[in-house]
Amino acid sequence: MALSSSSHLLPFSRPPATFPRARHAGGGRGRAGATGRFMACSSPPPPDVVVTRERGKNAKLIAALEKHNVQSLELPLIKHVEGPDTDRLSAVLRDEKFDWITITSPEAAAVFLEGWKAAGNPKVRIAVVGAGTERVFDEVIQYNDGSLEVAFSPSKAMGKFLASELPRTTETTCKVLYPASAKAGHEIQNGLSNRGFEVTRLNTYTTVPVQDVDPLILKPALSAPVVAVASPSALRAWLNLASQVDNWGNAIACIGETTASAAKKFGLKSIYYPTTPGLDGPQGVELEDGQFTCTRCWRLVDICGGCILNSVLP
């Protein structure tokens, strides 16, 4: 796997500085479990990476970074709230039959399951984008009577691939229900409609910026070399906060191409993202000086923010 450098995005470069080393004893990046790893200090070390998902959803990323001795700072930037069509979902599932339900994110999956249960667990066939989205259905599939089936995922975990690859199940009209974020684009529904699918979109949730950001957390976040974002909404929220400082231009590690494209449109230059979303687990070869060659993008860095981010987030 390689980090993209296509003409659709600005050329990517390493962050202006790799993750800081000066605070580590011994002159190099310490290894987990080493004794005397940090010099004594009265305050926490400055963060290497700011993680920005909704509160309670950053734990996997923080744990993955800790394994590589990278200091994280949790700064939730968005929260999910009900969308205009949340209350319609269960009624639509009760009253109509669909050939496919397309689910493109873990949050969309969680909201859908609430409506599906309220509708009495009707028989549905699900198409998902991303392994993380599919995992939301694991427990239900394990214990239900077969009324819910995850039957398709595209070759690449992106909406445009779902729109182009979703199989038709009938020669006549093929009906699709698309529960989505109110802020999601129209790529999926337009792509499916252009292929002859009849698409019903319900905006079942949306995202809003977190308003009460603690200034004591924001100050070190603004100086962190890398900020990890998992959606264009989180990116917009971060840039609004970053406008408080002149010429903020540190690295952005994006969950995938959609968020990276948004970063490019906002004029950011140090953008990282994995070109193959959904792969499991960061892998790399550690070198003697504590650096690490990522075997998924083959960059010589202390840690590849984009690869680590994608490996633990759907």
Compare 13 and 128 and report the one with higher pLDDT: 128
What average pLDDT does this structure show over 100-109?
Answer: 94
Q: Please name the residues in contact with 229: beta carbons below 8 A apart, sequence gap of 6 or more.
A: 52, 77, 235, 238, 252, 253, 254, 255, 259, 263
* CB of 271 closer than 8 Å to CB of 264: yes
> Which phi and psi (to 5°) does residue 109 adopt?
-65, -45
Residue of 208, 220, 206, 209 whose CA lies nearest to 74: 220
Higher local confidence (pLDDT), 95 or 286 = 95
Give the pLDDT score at 290: 44
- Other C-beta atoms closer than 10 Å to the C-beta of 188 total 26
Token reading at 109 = 């999956």
Q: What is the pLDDT of residue 14?
A: 37
Q: How far apart are the C-alpha atoms of 136 and 43, rounded to whole Å?
A: 38
Read off the pLDDT band of 240 (50, 70, 90).
very high
* Tokens 């996997």 belong to residue: 60
- Which pTM value belongs to this model? 0.70
**Residues 107/181, Cβ–Cβ less than 8 Å:** yes
**111-143: pLDDT as tens digits:** 999 999 999 999 999 999 988 889 899 988 888
The confidence score (pLDDT) of residue 220 equals 93
Domains for the chain: give ranges and CATH numbers.
Answer: 25-77+211-312 (3.40.50.10090), 81-208 (3.40.50.10090)
Q: What is the pLDDT of residue 269?
A: 85
